[in-house]
Structure 1
Amino acid sequence: MNGASRDALAGARERLDALTDNTSVDAGSLAGELAAVTALLDREVSLRRVLTDPSQAGEAKAELAGRLLGGQVSGTTADLVAGLVRSRWSRSRDLVDSIEELASVADLTAAQRANQLDDVEDELFRFGRIVSSNTELRAALTHRGVGTAPKSELLRSLIGGRANAVTERLVTRLVTAPRGRSLEAGLESLSKLAAERRDRMVAVVTSAVPLSDAQKQRLGAALAKLYGRKMHLNLDVDSEVLGGIRVQVGDEVINGSIADRLEEVSRRMAS
């Protein structure tokens, strides 16, 4: 997002945080209602354009959204959406993307309240690894000719009761309503949002053998010092790493042995 849309989303994220700081607000229910609004505006292109028309007064657009959503969602959700449509948007699609992001953040907040955010982060990562290694499964989940009901049923058979309920909701929404994204890109985006809930970055760590607890702690501490932020490690094992380690943080890839990398981090911190 650029310009006005980026600012509008930042403001909406602040309002959402303020709402969900109040424990009387059901973050999970809020997420479901925001997801429903996302589906509505994704489907109704003309409505989306009206609600983002810069020539229309913000209050008039908020009133229209209130009339459309009245009785369909809670007052909390309606107020949040009204605030969104009062804002200016660079593109009409950005409004829908933002509401969808808020829905995901609200679900992740529900997991955080229940002290289950670590589980959700790890499950999203593992699900991504499973999909990337199974071409038939990926095809079944992404084929445009397959309806949402069969995809939902397939996901229930795969992760229903085996994963956190928040993980299941996030993955199901992504698979059944990808909105032009690849499954991999959608999962990566969700992982980043989960990490942001604790102001942490995500490091994908691939090693030839499983890391010991001591190695994980040392690596996590070294990366946190290097990047200046808390770090969540998504761990994967690949024998082709040849005894070393590969770390990816965002677009940056670090290759080398654990000892070599830690020594390099120490040198950089000392300089």
Structure 2
Amino acid sequence: MIREIAARRYGEAAFQIARERGTEEPWSEGLSLMAAVFAHPEMAVVMQEARISTDDKMRLTERALEGVDPLVLNLARLLVHRGRTALAPQIAEAFQELVDAERGIAHAVVTTAVPLSEAEARAVAEKLSEISGKQVVVEAQVDEGVIGGLIARIGDKIIDGSTRSQLAALKRRLQEASA
């Protein structure tokens, strides 16, 4: 989930550039590589180290991202210059969300009490696709507090079919009936 407004803005700007140029796929690959490079623990330490010059950080970045779209490299340089390399994974995520939205693909976070099997995940994705009218990619999470059933979040929509919420609703009805 993207927490930083700046990351979303960088992702949106990158998407606009890539879309105008018809280079969404190279940008997606380049941003994924940039995110992996800057998220690597050793690289993160180097990028935060004040004793290492910006020029040295730039050279290291250019070597690590050799071969990516030149504009992706420019974005990486900008992040190094501004000390914002930690945003790279969120920028890549924001960009990919926009590409997927344009392609009619939605991402759903599905929370269950126990891990979903591949077949169950496919069945949930198919049902959510019917509901949303989009192709759905499921990211499964486990939360034993759900007790049973599932909670699905697609964008800003939540479908709560958990046993926990059903028990809470039953509790409210019983309290209202006894009042």
Task: Give the TM-score band, short-chain normalised.
Answer: 0.5 to 0.7
Matches within 5 A, 1:110-125: 110-114=99-103, 116=104, 120-121=106-107, 124-125=108-109
Q: 1:106, CA displacement in angstroms? A: 0.9
Matches within 5 A, 1:185-196: 195=155
Q: 1:25, CA displacement in angstroms? A: 4.8
In structure 2, which of residues 88, 91, 101 is the aligned counterpart of residue 102 of structure 1? 91
Residue 236 of structure 1 aligns with which residue? 160
* 1:18 matched to 2:7: no
* 1:31 matched to 2:33: no
Matches within 5 A, 1:50-69: 50-69=46-65
Q: 1:38, CA displacement in angstroms? A: 3.0
Q: Identify unmatched segments of 5+ residues in structure 2.
A: 144-152
Q: 1:235, CA displacement in angstroms? A: 2.5
> C-alpha separation between the residues in 2 aligned to 1:28 and 1:18?
15
Contact residue 41 and residue 48 of structure 1 kept, 8 A: yes
* 1:81 matched to 2:9: no
Q: Which has the higher strand share?
A: 2
SS in 1 for 2:137: helix
> C-alpha separation between the residues in 1 aligned to 2:135 and 2:88?
20
> C-alpha separation between the residues in 2 aligned to 1:67 and 1:39?
14
SS in 2 for 1:120: strand
Q: 1:65, CA displacement in angstroms? A: 0.6
Residue 137 of structure 2 aligns with which residue? 167
Length-normalised TM-score, structure 1: 0.42
Contact residue 69 and residue 78 of structure 1 kept, 8 A: yes
SS in 1 for 2:106: helix
Q: CA-to-partner distance for each residue in 1:66-109, whole Å, 9 max, x for gaps? A: 122112x22232222221111236xxxxx44x211111111111
Provide the identity percentage: 14
* 1:46 matched to 2:16: no
Structure with the greater relative contact order (CA < 8 A, sep ≥ 6): 1 or 2?
2
> C-alpha separation between the residues in 2 aligned to 1:82 and 1:165?
35
Which residue identity lines up with residue 93 of structure 2 in the other structure? S
> C-alpha separation between the residues in 1 aligned to 2:75 and 2:32?
13
Which residue identity lines up with residue 74 of structure 1 in the other structure? D
**RMSD of aligned C-alpha atoms?**
4.0
